[in-house]
Amino acid sequence: MLDVENQNIFSSNILQKTFNLLQKCWENKQSILVHCESGISRSVTIIIAFLMKKNNWSYLNSFNFLKEKHSIANPNNSFIKQLELFEKIGFITDPINLKNQKYLEILLLLMDIYLN
């Protein structure tokens, strides 16, 4: 996952794969290190998305919770918009659901047009 404005966090099943791993570690009471180059945007985005889905929290609640623990947390603007969209669509990460996937693709296209 790249820390660039046009990175789609829903592509390549990124969220579902990381959620599965994080959930497995959570259930087994295991620790896991989620990291990126600086620990500011990409890894933070993954953790925020996990908190949102696991706890049914809003983007803002999840961000504020993480920011208290990790003060340098600062997802890029595109990741923030995608996390807000993730909240609006009910934390859907399953790409097999074609109806939801098509809806998501349309929303991401509109978001891409808006950002560019």
pLDDT value at position 96?
54
What is the pLDDT of the chain when averaged over all its residues? 86
Mean pLDDT of 83-89: 88
52 vs 1: which has the higher pLDDT:
52
pLDDT tens-place string over residues 15-61: 888 999 999 999 999 998 888 889 999 999 999 999 999 999 999 99
Is the CB of residue 51 less than 8 Å from the CB of residue 57? yes
- At residue 102, φ and ψ (nearest 5 deg) are -65, -45
Q: Where are the domains of the chain?
A: 11-115
H or E stretch covering 106: helix 98-115
**Superfamily the domain 11-115 falls into:** Protein tyrosine phosphatase superfamily (3.90.190.10)
The percent of residues in the chain predicted with pLDDT above 70, rounded, is: 86
Which of the following is catalytic: 36, 40, 80, 85? 36
Whole-number pLDDT of residue 72? 96
Active site residue 25: no
24 vs 79: CA distance, rounded Å? 24
Give residue 116's pLDDT: 62
- Going by C-beta distance under 8 Å and a sequence separation of 6 or more, which residues neighbour residue 73? 40, 44, 48, 63, 66, 67
